[in-house]
Amino acid sequence: MVDVLAQRERQVFRKGEDTFNIGCERNSVAGSVSQRACVFCGSRVVLYPIADALHLIHGPIGCAAYTWDIRGALSSGPELHRLSFSTDIQENNVIYGGEKKLYNSLIELIDTHHPKAAFVYATCIVGIIGDDVDAVCKQVAGEKGIPVLPVHSEGFKGTKKDGYRAACEALLKIIGRVATDKISKFSINILGDFNIAGETWVIREYYRRIGVEVVSAITGDGRVEDIGRSHGASLNVVQCSGSMMYLAKQMKEKYGIPFIRVSYFGIEDTSEALFAVARFFNDVGLLERTGLLVESEVERVNRRIRYYREKLKGKKAAIYVGGAFKAFSLIKALHLLGMEVAVVGSQTGNKDDYTRLKDMCLPGTIIVDDSNPVELANFSIEKEVDLFIGGVKERPLAYKLGMGFCDHNHERKQVLAGYEGMVNFAKEVYSSVMSPVWRFSPRKTVGAGNGVD
Amino acid sequence: MLLRHTPSEIKERKALTINPAKTCQPIGAMYAALGIHGCLPHSHGSQGCCAYHRSTLTRHYKEPIMAATSSFTEGASVFGGQANLLQAINNMFTVYAPEVIAIHTTCLSETIGDDINQIIRKAYDDGKVPEGKHVIHCNTPSYVGSHVTGYANMVAGMVKYFSESTGRYRDQINIIPGWVEPSDMREIKRIAKEMGVKAVLFPDTSDVLDAPQRGKHMFYPEGGVTIPDLKSTGDSKLTIALGPFGTESAAALLDSKCKVKYELLDLPIGISATDRFISGLSRAACVEVPTSITAERGRAVDIITDMQQYFYNKKVALFGDPDQLTALTEFLVDLEMKPIHIISGTPGKQFEPRIRNILKDKVPNANVRNGANADLFLLHQLIKNEPVDLLIGNTYGKYIARDEDIPFVRMGFPIMDRIGHSYFPTVGYAGVMRLLEIMLSALLDRQDRDAPEESFELVM
């Protein structure tokens, strides 16, 4: 088997050996076993956590079935987002159009569930058969008096990133609908956190403690009304910049709200995020409270991870994530645990991202864009990695290779954000890397040579 | 309650599926293709389809799933996917060196009208297919049928492309399993071997999706039916097709193409259906049923005799795929249980009459629904109106089981929250024993949990 596909050679970079000129932001090569998803996937994961909205998927059943409650995005109230609604397009709809079916479905669902808004996801086929989704949404919005928003997420119209953008477009139509009185001047929106395992709650609590009001966490444990008044916030604080930068930029243009990019992963980045917000408001009390919080939390985390750090020192990790921004934080967090990063890659990073990754990594590190299982397995074996960090498709691959694994994607089971998250992360990494099961794995006993047969 | 949104009043829905009891065709084709040795399934459509199918199969099997995609772009959707597919075929053979590429279509490529036959021909003409390698395909428009249809279509594709009638008689039987687990396929092979029957089982996902931990990634695991075996199916004595929805189209094609007659049976789930499978196999291959198999049957029946009172009159709701549900319904009736709600998202006219025929005077008023609007929302409503003692279905049943506090047995696809289905069969007499065990455990755990102190039993 060929190690790296010829057309992909520029998408793999070895620090210290190659001159840096990584290729990225390309369409995947047809015929590759890419780990990437589609436009619809991008829209669906971003909007999914808005719990009091109706999410109707207009297309054949698969798109709804595969995205039914797969993201552990928690809600503190309504659970409507966890159901799976589909127009279940049939052959006659493909021939005669599905607009009527869409209309009927919307009316039926809105009458039954009284959602605060409805998102209608247009899938591949809707783009091809030419249903006028916008018109149907407009009609239903008029009849039912709630925002009914088309999300143009036809799978073939770009990459997951384009899906994020389509989701942001829909969000922009909700923002500005609600009055913004009684909002503190120290107020922010949290962008790009999805409350997986309850992470938004943890972050909200930090802001509460330092005296910053969170107007809306847009997506994480999201509510339509909060989003509607989010334009009243003084600052947008953007995490997971891949999905939400577009929204932040648009809100800046439209409402003059400045934004900053942060990450809540690892103690260094979490602290920096809180300080950045405090510095923005430049209030003595706020800065002081932030300083106190950071100091006490960092001390506590360091104490609690000391044991894991001792055990994990010198272990090697491979990282393969969706957006590159997450990889930056992961590298720092792994360094904090005394670990080395030997392989790092993303599905959708851009040139700036990869330059920054290169600067953060040790010589010899492999940096890769839009990778596939063969490459990932070979690189991981070559570098004798002890831990793989990735998503659902990478987990069994890592296990088959006899490596520890940590899901830093939809399937994380506990909070990995914030200070609490760093401790959980250390525990999770420790339990997987140090698991006695690897003693029984052939790689540790006989050496398997190349990673892929 | 997670399903607080389910009202108990059932209204006929015009156009809507809520919490589906099915998914789309392509994933079935991908699963079937993984049952050919050295095969790389290929999804001709947008990238997301392939990613979703791989993720879902991964969640169910906890195995890496290798499949490629044509990565449709806007351009391909306007001008057709031929260029993408040709490039994909070339790349796959160059990089991943499969024995065979098994292409399935998607709603997108079907609607824009790509002619896969013609594109494959062009790939051969252009020399993109190395000597001795193969490209096969089936059409799997997502807006027709369900994942079961996709499975059936890919199995028929195997016959279409590989089965050859050479005129040379082979003393072997073809066995086509419906969509069952690798454990089931392994069990069917074991039974055939135990009976001294030479059988070609296709597809065969054992040793593919239940692969051992070896410290390396086997891009093409050891299992899967081989190409020579697939070719030889055209010379077999007979085909035994297990489950009409998953297998009849392939069996019928093999009959018309190579004149290999077929016997259509149910999936061998439960005593009666397994009996028919064993006697069918014995008749077809002209072999006696060995005492070892009779003994297995005896052990299964022995469990039922020991524990019959715990099954008696228990009401059951079940959902899933039609071939499983048919055999399972018969089994439940054999246990004197009462399957009162039976739901499958897979359309097909033959389903309901067949189930009604099994239930006849036993459960004449059962709710049996399949196809449009037969989803878990409806099932939940039915259960609210007439509660059950046991729920059987895939992982998605856990919402209903939790909200209505019903003992729950996981069976079907997908199961994303438990293990076992890959390793322990539900077919054959061994499957009977496993089903008995998990159903009894669910029922008796519940009885223990709810029993008042004075009647909390030690011996059951």
Whether chain B has a CB inside 8 Å of the CB on A287: the answer is: no
Query: What pLDDT, on the 0 to 100 scale, is given for residue A446?
Result: 47
CATH code that applies to domain B25-162 = 3.40.50.1980
- Name the A residues in 316-345 with CB < 8 Å from any B CB: none
Instruction: Tell me the fold of A39-174.
Output: Rossmann fold (3.40.50)
pLDDT, tens only, A391-439:
888 899 999 999 999 998 777 888 999 999 999 999 999 999 999 999 8
In A, minimum Cα distance to B102 occurs at: A31
Q: Name the minimum distance, in Å, from the CA of B329 to any CA of chain A.
A: 25
Whether chain B has a CB inside 8 Å of the CB on A95: the answer is: no
Tens digit of pLDDT per residue, chain A (453 long)? 666 667 777 888 888 776 677 777 777 788 888 778 899 999 999 999 999 999 999 999 999 999 998 778 899 999 999 999 999 999 999 999 999 999 999 999 999 999 999 999 999 999 899 999 999 999 999 999 999 999 999 999 988 889 999 999 999 999 999 999 999 999 999 999 999 999 999 999 999 999 999 999 998 999 999 999 999 999 999 997 778 999 999 999 999 999 999 999 999 999 999 999 999 999 999 999 999 999 999 999 999 999 999 999 999 999 998 888 889 999 999 999 999 999 999 887 888 888 988 888 888 999 998 888 888 999 999 999 999 999 888 899 999 999 999 998 777 888 999 999 999 999 999 999 999 999 888 865 544 455 566
Optimal mutation site among B106, B216, B319, B377, interface A, most CBs of chain A within 10 A: B216
pLDDT, tens only, B187-227:
999 999 999 999 999 999 999 999 999 888 899 999 999 99
Q: What is the mean pLDDT of chain B?
A: 96
- Please judge whether A68 and B20 are an interchain contact, meaning their C-beta atoms are less than 8 angstroms apart: yes
In A, minimum Cα distance to B5 occurs at: A113
Q: Name the minimum distance, in Å, from the CA of B30 to any CA of chain A.
A: 13
Query: What pLDDT, on the 0 to 100 scale, is given for residue A451?
Result: 56
- Please judge whether A453 and B220 are an interchain contact, meaning their C-beta atoms are less than 8 angstroms apart: yes
Query: What pLDDT, on the 0 to 100 scale, is given for residue A353?
Result: 87
Q: Name the minimum distance, in Å, from the CA of A433 to any CA of chain B.
A: 15
Instruction: Tell me the fold of B293-454.
Output: Rossmann fold (3.40.50)
* B263, pLDDT greater than 80: yes
Q: What is the ipTM of this complex?
A: 0.94
* B301, pLDDT greater than 70: yes
What's the CA angle centered on B59, arms B55 and B63, to 5 degrees? 90
Interface A–B counts its CB contacts (< 8 A) at: 282
Average pLDDT over residues B23-52: 97
β-pair type (A85-86, A53-58): parallel
- Please judge whether A155 and B144 are an interchain contact, meaning their C-beta atoms are less than 8 angstroms apart: no
Optimal mutation site among A27, A32, A33, A43, interface B, most CBs of chain B within 10 A: A33
Query: What pLDDT, on the 0 to 100 scale, is given for residue A389?
Result: 96
b/e for B32-47, b at 16 or more Cβ within 10 A?
bbbbbbbbbbbbbbbb
Query: What pLDDT, on the 0 to 100 scale, is given for residue A8?
Result: 75
**Which residues, 6+ apart, have CB-to-CB distance to A133 below 8 Å?**
A58, A99, A102, A120, A122, A126, A150, A152
Domain A187-295: CATH architecture, name and number where available: 3-Layer(aba) Sandwich (3.40)
Write the single-letter amino acid at B117: N
3-state SS class at B80? coil
Average pLDDT over residues B271-276: 98
Optimal mutation site among A88, A111, A403, interface B, most CBs of chain B within 10 A: A88
In chain A, residues with a C-beta closer than 8 Å to the C-beta of B73 are 27, 156, 158
pLDDT, tens only, B85-117:
999 999 999 989 999 999 999 999 999 999 999
Cβ(B175)–Cβ(B155) below 8 Å: no
Share of chain B above pLDDT 90, in %: 93
* B428, pLDDT greater than 50: yes
Whether CATH 3.40.50.1980 fits B173-289: yes
* B376, pLDDT greater than 90: yes
Picking from A61, A124, A373, the nearest residue to B22 by CB comes out as A61
Q: How far apart are CA B18 and CA B373, in angstroms?
A: 8
Query: What pLDDT, on the 0 to 100 scale, is given for residue A452?
Result: 63
Picking from B58, B94, B146, the nearest residue to A2 by CB comes out as B94
- Please judge whether B16 and A108 are an interchain contact, meaning their C-beta atoms are less than 8 angstroms apart: yes
Q: Name the minimum distance, in Å, from the CA of B161 to any CA of chain A.
A: 21
The residue among A247, A252, A297 whose CA lies nearest residue A272 is A297
- Please judge whether B16 and A157 are an interchain contact, meaning their C-beta atoms are less than 8 angstroms apart: no
- Name the A residues in 371-430 with CB < 8 Å from any B CB: 373-374, 377, 381, 392-393, 395-397, 399-402
Q: Name the minimum distance, in Å, from the CA of A341 to any CA of chain B.
A: 21
Domain A6-32+305-445: CATH architecture, name and number where available: 3-Layer(aba) Sandwich (3.40)
Picking from A128, A392, A440, the nearest residue to B111 by CB comes out as A128
Q: What residue segments make up the domains of chain A, in order of their start? A: 6-32+305-445, 39-174, 187-295
- Please judge whether A87 and B17 are an interchain contact, meaning their C-beta atoms are less than 8 angstroms apart: yes
Picking from B69, B73, B218, the nearest residue to A453 by CB comes out as B218
β-pair type (A85-86, B17-18): antiparallel
> Which pTM value belongs to this model?
0.95
- Please judge whether A124 and B107 are an interchain contact, meaning their C-beta atoms are less than 8 angstroms apart: yes
In B, minimum Cα distance to A4 occurs at: B95
- Please judge whether B20 and A65 are an interchain contact, meaning their C-beta atoms are less than 8 angstroms apart: yes
Q: What are A415's two structure tokens? A: 């909070």
In chain B, residues with a C-beta closer than 8 Å to the C-beta of A381 are 216
Same fold, B25-162 and B293-454: yes
CB atoms closer than 10 angstroms to residue A452:
23
The distance in angstroms from the start CA to the end CA of chain B is: 33
In B, minimum Cα distance to A43 occurs at: B48
Sheet of A340-346: strand order equals A12-14, A366-369, A340-346, A316-321, A387-390, A404-407
Same fold, A39-174 and A187-295: yes
- Name the A residues in 36-65 with CB < 8 Å from any B CB: 36-41, 59-65
In chain B, residues with a C-beta closer than 8 Å to the C-beta of A80 are 5
Whether chain B has a CB inside 8 Å of the CB on A68: the answer is: yes
Picking from A5, A36, A446, the nearest residue to B47 by CB comes out as A36
Query: What pLDDT, on the 0 to 100 scale, is given for residue A444?
Result: 58
Picking from A38, A65, A108, the nearest residue to B13 by CB comes out as A108
Q: How far apart are CA B326 and CA B322, in angstroms?
A: 6
Query: What pLDDT, on the 0 to 100 scale, is given for residue B13?
Result: 84
Q: Name the minimum distance, in Å, from the CA of B46 to any CA of chain A.
A: 5
Whether chain B has a CB inside 8 Å of the CB on A96: the answer is: no
- Please judge whether B66 and A33 are an interchain contact, meaning their C-beta atoms are less than 8 angstroms apart: yes
Cβ(A123)–Cβ(A63) below 8 Å: yes
- Please judge whether B70 and A31 are an interchain contact, meaning their C-beta atoms are less than 8 angstroms apart: yes
In chain B, residues with a C-beta closer than 8 Å to the C-beta of A451 are 216-217
Query: What pLDDT, on the 0 to 100 scale, is given for residue A448?
Result: 46
Picking from A35, A90, A450, the nearest residue to B143 by CB comes out as A90
Optimal mutation site among B4, B217, B375, B398, interface A, most CBs of chain A within 10 A: B217
